[in-house]
Amino acid sequence: MLKRVKMSFFGVNLYRSTTSEYDSHRELEKEIFQTRLKCKIMKLNTMKNKSLNHRHLICRRRY
């Protein structure tokens, strides 16, 4: 029997069509881990960009 699993976190929806419960669970864990990593990296990048922009503005104001 084919089951469709939906998980939502960080505003990201994951759809998984799988045959067995165990496999679907393992796959979901993997995908959740990868997506969380991606989100962390994205957050870090945005924070870096914000700080860089902030510094840039401060430097601009000075000169």
CA distance 16 to 23: 10
pLDDT tens per residue, range 6-51: 554 444 445 554 455 666 677 778 887 888 788 777 777 777 666 6
Count structural domains, the chain: 1
Tokens encoding 40: 């962390």
Query: In terms of residue numbers, what domain contains 13?
Result: 3-62
Q: Which two tokens stand for residue 18?
A: 């799988």
Say what the pLDDT of residue 55 is: 58
Quick check: 5 pLDDT over 70?
no
3-state secondary structure of 61: helix
pTM above 0.85, yes or no: no
